Amino acid sequence: MTRATTDRTDASASRQSAPEVRSRAATRPYPTKNDLPEAGRLETIGLLNQRLADAIDLQMQCKQAHWNVKGPTFIALHKLFDEINGDVAEYVDLLAERIVQLGGIAEGTVGIVEGRSTLLDYPLTLSTGAEHVAALSDALAMFGRTVRVGIEEMNELEDAGSADILTEISRGVDKWLWFVEAHQQGG
């Protein structure tokens, strides 16, 4: 067996054991003096990891649109999509850091995101500004809806800090949805 084959086999074995590691991490958070009840923190960690997967997916969809937009509105949309991506990157960081603050593990690998995101797959064959505007507005709207559901979940768990983070993200996503949808309106 060659070194490359051995490396691939070792990597494959690591990936196969990863779910077991994640499940153990989900049942035993890191110790913290955070006074939220452990059961609530565990539930919050799981819910926030779901929103994290959606946020990372949204971030990549923004870049997909940014890289591939064509047509007479190219420069305006290219810049807009990049600005949205910048803010979504901040949302990703807010979510991941909150998970860790609660004693959890932020699960943001490509494999986790691919298996967990609730957003629709971004169509790879789009090119015109109008096509990207339609697809990205759909993604922003869907993400905004899941974030608002998350706010209600955090309120039920009496985690005002996490609800506040999701409220901040909701306001930002609504703003970006307005900016993107404005390209579809009034014309």
Instruction: Give every residue of the chain whose pLDDT is below 50, as ranges.
Output: 1-25
Beta partners for 128? Answer: 70
Give the pLDDT of residue 187.
64
Q: Look at residues 100, 127, 117, 111 and name the one whose alpha carbon lies nearest to residue 59.
A: 117
Give 66's Cβ-side CA count (13 Å radius): 14
Q: How many domains does the chain have?
A: 1
**Residue 2 placed within a domain:** no
Supply φ then ψ for residue 70, to 5 degrees.
-135, 165
Report if residue 169 sits inside a domain: yes
Give the SS3 label for residue 57: helix
- 78-101 pLDDT, tens digit each: 999 999 999 999 999 999 999 999
The domain in which residue 137 lies consists of 45-181
First to last CA, the chain: 63
Q: What is the pLDDT of residue 149?
A: 98
User: Looking at the domain assignment, is residue 20 inside a domain?
Assistant: no
pLDDT for position 35: 86
Is the distance from CB of 145 to CB of 51 less than 8 angstroms?
no
Task: Answer whether residue 161 is part of any domain.
Answer: yes
- Evaluate whether residue 88 is within a structural domain: yes
Query: Which pLDDT does position 26 carry in this prediction?
Result: 52
CA neighbours within 13 Å on the CB side: how many for 8?
5
CATH of residue 125? 1.20.1260.10
Whether residue 27 lies inside any domain: the answer is no
Give a yes or no: residue 34 inside a domain: no
For residue 32, being part of any structural domain is answered with no
Q: Residue 27 has what pLDDT?
A: 62
Question: Does residue 132 contact residue 110 with C-beta atoms inside 8 Å?
Answer: no
